[in-house]
Structure 1
Amino acid sequence: MAEHLEKGTEAEQLAKEWLEGKGYEFVEANYRHKHAEIDLILVHRGILVFVEVKFRSGTGYGYAEEFVDYRKRQLIIRAADHYIHEKDWHRDIRFDIVGVYRDRNGRIAFKHFEDAFY
């Protein structure tokens, strides 16, 4: 597996565990619909939360939230719409971004953007 894919998979697992520690209930990972993928789907306080996870080793090239551009948001929204209809979900939803940052010493930090877009 390519190194960037391994880092992405690791970041998604770290974000999942971190969110579960904050009271989120894991539902599904890597949900795909056509050309879109939703990294994590969780439920928090009755809200279905679609999470885009971005890994960064430093911020020299920008912050995680800056890498979820308009096109990426539209793909996630379309996939979420399909998921909502597939599961017959009738309650609130939200789109979050979780940045997973690893510093030079290997320490992990998270930055959570709730209700990041729609």
Structure 2
Amino acid sequence: MEKGLRSAVVLIGVSMLLGAAGFIFAPEAMEAQFSVVASRVDGMGTLRGDLGGLFLTLAVFTLAGSRPGKSAWLAVPVVFMLAVLFGRTVHILLDGLSEPAIRSTVVEIIALVILEAARRKLVTDKVES
């Protein structure tokens, strides 16, 4: 169970790292996948800096928290995911429900559940020498 949970956390961290690389190095390729458009060159800076930085931060803390005895680091991506879900909820309430909103919300809830479960369960792991 613990090995599977740790593997799921690593998979989430690597996925976030790939998202960060995409936003930082090829933001134009990420626009359609995330339904965002940079209308000017400074918009590309927003995609690279804000979204790329967000995903990079999430990846770093998720991968750091995947190590034995380091699950406390997972509190950071858990809080980030809660904030993202809050924003997603406001979006759904104000802008209406859509298939992409449902898909994103489900992915975020699954990630949140895995990260929180790992934060709680893996805390007892001993650091191997």
TM norm structure 1? 0.34
Q: Which has the larger radius of gyration?
A: 2
- Which structure's residues are more often strand, by fraction? 1
TM norm structure 2? 0.32
Compare relative contact order (CA 8 Å, sep 6+) and give the higher one, 1 or 2: 2
- Which structure's residues are more often helix, by fraction? 2
